[in-house]
Structure 1
Amino acid sequence: MMGKNVFVKKLAFLGVVALSSVMLTACGNNDDEATGDSSNAANDDVQVVRIGIGNAYNPFCYLDENEELAGYEYEVLKLVDEKLPQYEFSYEPTEFSNILVGLDTGSYDMGVHGFGWNEERDQKYLYSETPSVTTGGYVILGAEGQDFETMDDLAGKKVQVKTGGNVSNLLEAYNKENPDKAVEIVYEDSENEQIVSNLTNGVYDAYINEKIDADQWVKQFDGLEQYGENIFGDQADSGCYYLYNKDAEQMEKDISAALQELHDEGETGKLSKEYLGEDYTK
């Protein structure tokens, strides 16, 4: 299947050539008892981690021109995998909406798509202790030449959001707490190019995104500008995390520890500069 990449670490085993099936059985039993051969046990101890990862979230996780998995998150996970011989990572690139479904149904052990923290997800999934990057909080995206700086400037404005995302939750809570300054929330699950077109053509006034993503958008698209700084303050967590099923506590601890080592060693910082333009791991 194009776009589906499974990367598996293979264990090599030494075969014993015997003269007869009887001798093979006898020698095999004796060797296991005498030497404590744990090849089969070692193979059984390696746990496959089935990872649902984004296929169109450039530059974080996406398929390149050869339909091969690429991006910051994928390169980081390859380094994490090298540090954890007890696991072998198996990747399935897929659409954002499929990742949580895959976790729910048990198809995936781990979900990767720059997931921010929110209370609803936290009740359902296990978040990684260590974020893969920090996001710099939320900023406002709009057409060039706007005078947006804070949430107050968006009162009565049409703000496009994606259904079920962190921003929709934050805006809904904001409107409830500030009815006299409420924004008009427009739920529309468009691709990035359409969102930018909606902004530059005046269909909607603003789109709210994390700074790490907004930086990429401003570089990628003409006629777009970002405004404000950390507009939700302490109400919004500023990390991107991996998600797991609730019973995967040991897996989460192991992967978070390896990821933190890579942060401390500066390896993820190098990849962040290469793929994201700056070191967003600090």
Structure 2
Amino acid sequence: MKRMKMLVKAMGVCTVITMMSLTLGGCSKSDTKTVETTKGSEGESEKDASDKIKVSVGIGNIFVPFCYLDDDENPAGYDYEVVCAVAEKLEDKYEFTINPDDFSNLLIGLDTKKYDMAVHHFGYTDERAENYLYAEEADMYFGSFHVGYLKGRTGITDFESCKGLTAVTTNGTMAETILLNWNKENPDSSLKVEYATDLSVIATGIKNGLYDVFIESEYDLNLFNSKYDNVLAYSDYNITPEGYNDGAYFIYPKGAEELQQDVDTAIRELREEGILKGISEEILGKDYSKK
């Protein structure tokens, strides 16, 4: 396992036991992985598993590259690797069982106590925070938002320079909110807004001039370029709303403060040790582990 090559020096040997299970909670696919850690040449656990606190983790199964099932139907992705690293950090106290599931089932799983922790690269929202307990430590940061445009094009720097141009966006994203708020607050410098649901459509539209600009976070713009031949350039001008939280977080049911704080401590240590950086560079192609 690639992750083990990165982590073995820092954390010792990790054993992942795979058990195929029945479909759970209406999800289309479900592998259950129990993440256990062993120390010493004889592989004896430092603490008997029966004495450990069991933690059931619901994690996404189709969200590439963060949490998904690979070609062998095994959990994979950035968030999955971080959970495994956290499990190794907390091996003396907890035993983590990782359950890939559909996104729609994860928060329901917290409500029904099926899961003790939900992982799907959740951004912060006030509405969600009213019902669930957010981690205080992000496991990744998306970076600031910028105006993307066809590489080689000139004259586009900030929102003001985009007056009258056509911007493409997707429903329900922070990029859409930023764009619509600009238009509302600056009617004399507004942009035309078009919607697309497929990134390939956006790439084609940018290339053929149907769309002038594509607004997204630094991470999403870089990911877009990696998929579509570096078609975009983007300005240094930061259009991120004041106070915007660009982190991705694990979520817990209310009342799970002890688990949340222990996992936060583990993530903080993984960041300080450079482990998150290594996972990010390997899977995401760049270090997004720090704000």
| 2-structure distance, mates of 1:100, 1:159 | 33
Tell me which residue corresponds to 2:6: none
- Offset, 1:87: 4.0
Tell me which residue corresponds to 1:240: 248
- CA contact 1:3–1:69 (8 Å) conserved in 2: no
Tell me which residue corresponds to 1:134: 141
| 1-structure distance, mates of 2:254, 2:176 | 24
- CA contact 2:36–2:96 (8 Å) conserved in 1: no
Name the amino acid aligned to 1:72. Answer: Y
Tell me which residue corresponds to 2:162: 154
SS of residue matched to 1:234: coil
Give the 3 Å change call, closer, same or farther, for CA 244–78 of structure 1 in structure 2: same
1:119-130 to 2 correspondences below 5 Å:
119-130=126-137
- Offset, 1:225: 0.8
Give the 3 Å change call, closer, same or farther, for CA 151–89 of structure 1 in structure 2: farther
- CA contact 2:124–2:247 (8 Å) conserved in 1: yes
- Which of 200, 208, 211 in structure 1 is aligned with 2:207? 200
Tell me which residue corresponds to 1:212: 219
Tell me which residue corresponds to 2:72: 66
- Offset, 1:98: 5.6
- CA contact 1:110–1:245 (8 Å) conserved in 2: yes
- Which of 45, 56, 60 in structure 2 is aligned with 1:49? 56
- CA contact 1:116–1:241 (8 Å) conserved in 2: yes
Tell me which residue corresponds to 1:7: 33
Unaligned ranges ≥5, structure 1 = 12-38
SS of residue matched to 2:68: strand
| 1-structure distance, mates of 2:106, 2:211 | 28
SS of residue matched to 1:279: coil
- CA contact 1:138–1:209 (8 Å) conserved in 2: yes
Tell me which residue corresponds to 1:20: none
| 1-structure distance, mates of 2:61, 2:170 | 16
Give the 3 Å change call, closer, same or farther, for CA 176–81 of structure 1 in structure 2: same
1:184-240 Cα shifts (integer Å, max 9, x gaps): 34344x233333233323343332222122222212212621312332253432322
Tell me which residue corresponds to 1:275: 283
Tell me which residue corresponds to 1:81: 87
| 2-structure distance, mates of 1:192, 1:101 | 29
- Which of 132, 143, 148 in structure 1 is aligned with 2:150? 143
| 2-structure distance, mates of 1:5, 1:239 | 27
| 2-structure distance, mates of 1:194, 1:275 | 25
- How many residues are treated as equivalent by the alignment? 251
Larger Rg: 1
Q: Tell me the TM-score normalized by structure 1.
A: 0.74
- Offset, 1:137: 0.8
Question: Greater shift after overlay, 272-281 or 115-124?
Answer: 115-124
Give the 3 Å change call, closer, same or farther, for CA 153–99 of structure 1 in structure 2: farther
Tell me which protein shows more strand as a share of its residues. 2
Name the amino acid aligned to 1:202. Answer: G
Computed over aligned residues only, the root mean square deviation of the Cα atoms, in angstroms, reads: 3.1
| 1-structure distance, mates of 2:119, 2:107 | 10
Q: Between the two proteins, what is the percent identity of the paired residues?
A: 32
| 1-structure distance, mates of 2:242, 2:171 | 22
Tell me which residue corresponds to 1:184: 192
Give the 3 Å change call, closer, same or farther, for CA 201–280 of structure 1 in structure 2: same
- Offset, 1:273: 1.6
SS of residue matched to 2:34: coil
Tell me which residue corresponds to 2:268: 260
| 1-structure distance, mates of 2:174, 2:75 | 26
Give the 3 Å change call, closer, same or farther, for CA 120–174 of structure 1 in structure 2: farther
- CA contact 1:140–1:227 (8 Å) conserved in 2: yes
SS of residue matched to 2:148: strand
Name the amino acid aligned to 2:98. Answer: S
- Offset, 1:263: 0.7
| 2-structure distance, mates of 1:217, 1:138 | 14
